[in-house]
């Protein structure tokens, strides 16, 4: 059985879909990246992971021929200001949505909790992001023993809201005069990221403005930081209640700095071991593939 996974060349999608591809492979599937439907061998039986942009025109034969397809449906409406931005509006026209809703071999899913934003889609399934336990293999390294660490990009969603949020947080953390490993758009390799998160005392997480407002999804860093570091201080996102309701959470940049100051001198060994085990037992991409297969 072949499984085709949409390939992304940059951003978080590059690592998210690599995690998915390798998870499919780990479960015994012939997993392959594709960038265009023309690369798919339509004569074979296959499963397909896709995003709604792939079915934006009238030609959905590929989806219809798939034995079981997973279509990532972006929400069809968001609160302002995001509701008018193409990043947050489904690219799939209504008449295609209607056709997809009638197909028994299509399973519709998204990374965020299903709300009335998905009102046009039938039976959208919530499959959150996860930890890539296959590709992250950290090693102990004294160079990366930071008191607090964060690795990411500015993640401009078109409104560039996250930059200010991040700067506000980092400005407060800087006042603590700790050994900080803050790497933004620095081209950190997969191995370096694993080693920094694993060796640091505390990992922090910062989400985008729409995630803070809506509370429907968390970023991949949530699972990655807990899977590698084990202790995470996150900004306050409602979706965390579903799995990690005991995480220290900050409503403001000042709150995050205070939490870091509170925990940085504590022995976090037991908490880290517990959280790492929870992620490995429940929140890897292999687990997410198993959820998809169960739909």
To the question of domain 2-127 being in CATH 3.40.50, the answer is yes
Angstrom distance (rounded) from CA 21 to CA 26: 9
Reported as a single tens digit per residue, the pLDDT across 211-269 is 999 999 999 999 999 999 999 999 999 999 999 999 999 999 999 999 999 999 999 99
Angstrom distance (rounded) from CA 18 to CA 115: 27
Cis status, amide bond into 81, omega within 30 of 0: yes
Reported as a single tens digit per residue, the pLDDT across 169-220 is 999 999 999 999 999 999 899 999 999 999 999 999 999 999 999 999 999 9
**CATH 3.40.50.2000 region(s) of the chain?**
142-282
What's the CATH code, domain 142-282? 3.40.50.2000
Q: Is the pLDDT of residue 37 over 80?
A: no
Reported as a single tens digit per residue, the pLDDT across 93-135 is 788 888 888 888 888 888 888 877 777 888 889 999 999 999 9
In whole numbers, what is the pLDDT of the chain averaged over residues? 89
Whether the Cβ atoms of residue 67 and residue 46 lie closer than 8 Å to each other = yes
Which runs of E-coded beta strand occur in the chain? 2-6, 30-34, 46-51, 68-72, 106-110, 125-126, 148-152, 180-184, 202-205, 232-235, 249-250
Crossing angle between the packed helical segments 161-174 and 253-263, to the nearest 10 degrees:
40
């Amino acid at each position: 059985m072949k499984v085709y996974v949409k390939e992304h060349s940059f951003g978080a999608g590059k690592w998210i879909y690599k995690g998915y591809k390798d998870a499919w492979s780990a479960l015994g599937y012939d997993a392959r990246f594709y960038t265009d439907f023309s690369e798919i061998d339509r004569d074979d039986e296959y499963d397909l992971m896709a995003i709604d942009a792939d079915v934006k025109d009238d030609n959905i034969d590929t989806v219809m021929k798939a034995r079981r397809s997973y279509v990532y449906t972006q929400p069809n409406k968001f609160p302002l200001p995001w509701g008018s931005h193409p990043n947050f509006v489904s690219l799939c026209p209504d008449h295609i949505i209607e056709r997809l809703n009638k197909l028994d071999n299509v399973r519709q899913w998204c990374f965020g909790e299903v709300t009335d934003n998905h009102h046009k889609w039938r039976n959208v399934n919530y499959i959150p992001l996860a930890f890539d336990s296959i590709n992250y293999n950290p090693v102990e390294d004294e160079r990366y023993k930071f008191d607090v660490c964060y690795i990411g990009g500015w993640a401009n969603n078109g409104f560039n809201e996250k930059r200010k949020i991040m700067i506000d947080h980092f400005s407060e953390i800087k006042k603590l005069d700790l050994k900080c490993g803050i790497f933004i758009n620095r081209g950190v390799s997969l191995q370096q990221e694993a080693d920094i998160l694993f060796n640091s005392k505390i990992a922090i997480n910062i989400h985008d403005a729409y995630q803070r407002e809506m509370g429907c999804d968390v970023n991949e860093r949530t699972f990655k930081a807990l899977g590698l570091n084990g202790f995470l201080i996150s900004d306050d996102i409602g979706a965390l209640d579903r799995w990690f309701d005991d995480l220290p959470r900050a409503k403001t940049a000042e709150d995050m700095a205070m939490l870091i100051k509170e925990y940085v001198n504590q022995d976090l060994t037991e908490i880290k071991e517990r959280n790492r085990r929870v992620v490995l037992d429940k929140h890897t991409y292999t687990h997410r593939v198993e959820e998809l297969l169960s739909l």
